[in-house]
């Protein structure tokens, strides 16, 4: 019986060693896959950046061509005006520039200011949190009920305190 146990243990150890080698190959393969995916992600990022750069270059070229067209049209209109001829509109460039199209893409993004949270709301939130924690600690037999009651009382007291602070700030502003 001892011999069977020794043979079984030896077979288990040998098979475990063999599995480690295959696990090692699997680990190496997983590492290589991770490296490959990182390289692909870098290539994707580089492609995105090059697309963005080319779009910006096209935008600059369009703005330059619009500026050139505007100067050409204004120069021909000025020359016509100086000659006193009213039929010069046919000689003007037929290209019509739309300043709104170029200004929309080049205009800076205007961020709306976040609306500041009033002191009443802040007080209610803080009071509800503190009240819920306090209520749960005080009522050890039924902490859920204590948290609800404490939260409601705390929210009321906090909202009242915040309303008083808001009123004082309005009075200072006037």
DSSP 9-24: HHHHHHHHHHHHHHHH
CB 162 within 8 A of CB 123: yes
Q: Identify the pLDDT of residue 174.
A: 63
Q: Are residues 74 and 142 in the same domain?
A: no
Q: Are residues 89 and 21 in the same domain?
A: yes
Which domain covers residue 133, as residue numbers?
Answer: 119-173
C-alpha closest to that of 123 among 153, 168, 167, 160: 160
Structural domain contains residue 51: yes
- pLDDT tens digit string along 22-34? 556 777 777 888 7
Residue 87 confidence class, pLDDT cut points 50, 70, 90: very low
C-alpha closest to that of 74 among 59, 88, 58, 85: 88
Q: Are residues 101 and 135 in the same domain?
A: no
**pTM for the predicted model, two decimal places:** 0.36
Q: Are residues 93 and 123 in the same domain?
A: no
Instruction: Give the number of domains in the chain.
Output: 2
What is the token pair recorded at 166? 């808001």
Q: Identify the pLDDT of residue 23.
A: 55
Q: Are residues 38 and 80 in the same domain?
A: yes
Tell which of 106, 132, 152 closes a domain. Answer: 106
Q: Are residues 124 and 96 in the same domain?
A: no
Structural domain contains residue 113: no
CB 76 within 8 A of CB 89: no
Q: Are residues 100 and 123 in the same domain?
A: no
Structural domain contains residue 19: yes
Q: Are residues 132 and 92 in the same domain?
A: no
- pLDDT tens digit string along 49-69? 888 888 888 888 888 877 776
Structural domain contains residue 81: yes
CB atoms inside a 10 Å sphere around CB 112: 5
CB atoms inside a 10 Å sphere around CB 62: 14
Tell which of 106, 130, 154 closes a domain. Answer: 106
Residue 98 confidence class, pLDDT cut points 50, 70, 90: very low
Say how far apart CA 37 and CA 48 lie, in whole Å.
16
Positive or negative, the Cα torsion across 72, 78, 82, 86?
positive
Q: Are residues 139 and 167 in the same domain?
A: yes
Q: End-to-end CA distance of the chain, in Å?
A: 99
Average pLDDT of span 107-121: 76
Tell which of 106, 129, 153 closes a domain. Answer: 106
Structural domain contains residue 114: no
Structural domain contains residue 61: yes
Burial of 155 (0-12, 13-18, 19+ CB in 10 A): buried
Structural domain contains residue 77: yes
Q: Nearest-5° angle of CA 98, CA 101, CA 103?
A: 105
Residue 20 pLDDT greater than 70, yes or no: no
Residue 118, phi then psi, degrees to nearest 5: -70, 160
């Amino acid at each position: 019986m001892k011999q069977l146990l020794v043979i079984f243990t030896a077979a288990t150890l040998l098979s475990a060693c063999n599995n480690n080698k295959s696990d090692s190959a699997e680990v190496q393969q997983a590492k290589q896959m991770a490296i490959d995916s990182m390289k692909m992600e870098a290539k994707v990022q580089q492609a995105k950046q090059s697309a963005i750069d080319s779009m910006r270059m096209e935008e600059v070229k369009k703005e330059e061509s619009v500026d050139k067209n505007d100067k050409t049209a204004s120069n021909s209109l000025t020359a016509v005006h100086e000659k006193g001829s009213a039929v010069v509109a046919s000689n003007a460039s037929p290209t019509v520039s739309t300043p709104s199209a170029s200004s929309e893409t080049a205009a800076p993004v205007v961020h709306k200011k976040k609306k500041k949270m009033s002191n009443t709301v802040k007080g209610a939130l803080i009071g509800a949190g503190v009240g819920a924690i306090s209520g749960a600690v005080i009522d050890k037999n039924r902490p859920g009920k204590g948290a609800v009651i404490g939260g409601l009382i705390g929210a009321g007291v906090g909202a009242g305190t915040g309303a008083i602070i808001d009123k004082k700030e309005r009075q200072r502003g006037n």
